[in-house]
Amino acid sequence: DRMEQHRKQWYQRRVRGMVVVGKDSTSYIEKIKKDLGRSRTKEFSAHNSKAHCVAWNCTGKYIASGSLDKTAIVQSFKEERLSREFSLKGHEDAVDQIAWHPSDPNMLSTVSTDKTLRIWDIRTPQKTVACITTKGEVINMTWKSDGSTIALGNKDDLVCFVDYKTHKIIADKQFDFEVNEIGWNNTDDHFYLTSGNGSIHITQYPSLEPLMQIPAHTAHCICLKFSPNKEHFATGGADALINIWDASELSYLLSYSRLEWPVRTLSFNHDGRLLAAGSEDLVIDIAFVETGEKVATVSCNAFPFCVAWHPTQNILAYVTDDKSKHNEKHSRDSDKTTGCVKLFGL
């Protein structure tokens, strides 16, 4: 069976590789554990209501967050601090997803419960570059690595593709299974969809013809993230498992589980060797990708909605469900923390 062959090949390669990289890995883990072990979390005020999403631009100079207060806020990052720069206004409901252009540090996209996709240029933050009406309420958004296309997945399992230059929907496809997170592979010729049946569905791009279905989780497969070099990808599921995969071989490498609730958000760091994961647990788990070993834990007052590593530094941004019932015993400070963007690793 093809999957079993992949596993054997990978195991042999890993065993061969361990002799070479073993020492490097050990010193890397020790350094990371030491650095993150003495790291603090700082909170930076952003919104009047809870923030749902957070993302860094490609240079790491700016970070953007979206909120229930219908705005996206852009802040600059300098000398370990965030400073508020722009408020992007125009959506008529909560901003649920935010994503920057992969290579243009000034361009970003937002989607809202108001069923629109908006494209922004932070050099002219007072107006939207484009407002595109989406088919249904979008729950997932991702950019193709060349910046030409934005993919949107909605609550009704319809995936559509928007041309960045013309701002037109150029294709869409209705799926007959629950579609969760979506994304392109390392060569942009395959398109991945995580599903409610626990599988990863891989399709040809742009035809979206099915290629293969990989069983990944025993319950809903919720999230999907590729490492920056796209050599690996990770999936998180309702079974509380995190799986690491080889992207070129499409082979399973390892899995680990330290969280008790469904895994809802994942982010690889800049060198692809650390993976942050969040669920409804009141912690963010940070693992060493090669072994799944825990290198750090970030304590949260409320469960994290979204985690995002800085593109060049080991600094993790995250936003949490500040007004959740988990937070009642912390209600004294909840007003201060509502709508904050938090940075760990400073």
Backbone CA torsion sign across 104, 96, 274, 78: positive
What's the mean pLDDT in 179-206?
Answer: 97
C-alpha distances (whole Å) from 140 to each of 124, 143, 210, 302 are 26, 11, 20, 22
* DSSP 8-state class, residue 22: H
- Flag whether pLDDT at 9 surpasses 90: no
- Flag whether pLDDT at 203 surpasses 50: yes
pLDDT score recorded for residue 6 = 55
pLDDT score recorded for residue 326 = 38
> What does the pLDDT look like over 207-230, one tens digit per residue?
999 999 999 999 999 999 999 998
- Flag whether pLDDT at 182 surpasses 60: yes
> What does the pLDDT look like over 41-64, one tens digit per residue?
999 999 999 999 999 999 999 999
**Residue 87 has which token pair?**
């408020």
**Residue 309 has which token pair?**
């590593």
> For 93-112, b where at least 16 C-beta lie within 10 A, e where not — what string?
ebbbbbbbbeeebbbbbbbb
Backbone CA torsion sign across 317, 323, 329, 331: positive
- Flag whether pLDDT at 8 surpasses 80: no
> What does the pLDDT look like over 68-81, one tens digit per residue?
999 999 999 999 99
pLDDT score recorded for residue 332 = 43
Stated as kind and residue range, the H or E segment containing 190 is strand 190-195
Q: How far apart are CA 312 and CA 81, in angstroms?
A: 16
pLDDT score recorded for residue 186 = 87
Q: How far apart are CA 26 and CA 30, in angstroms?
A: 6
pLDDT score recorded for residue 331 = 42
pLDDT score recorded for residue 145 = 96
Q: Is 49 helix (H, G, I), strand (E, B) or coil?
A: coil
222 touches 181 (CB < 8 A): yes
pLDDT tier for residue 328 given thresholds of 50, 70 and 90? very low
What's the mean pLDDT in 289-313?
Answer: 96
What's the mean pLDDT in 313-328?
Answer: 77
Strands across the sheet containing 294-299: 265-268, 274-278, 283-288, 294-299
pTM of structure: 0.90
> What does the pLDDT look like over 15-38, one tens digit per residue?
444 333 456 788 999 999 999 999
Q: What is the mean pLDDT of the chain?
A: 91
Q: How far apart are CA 211 and CA 209, in angstroms?
A: 6
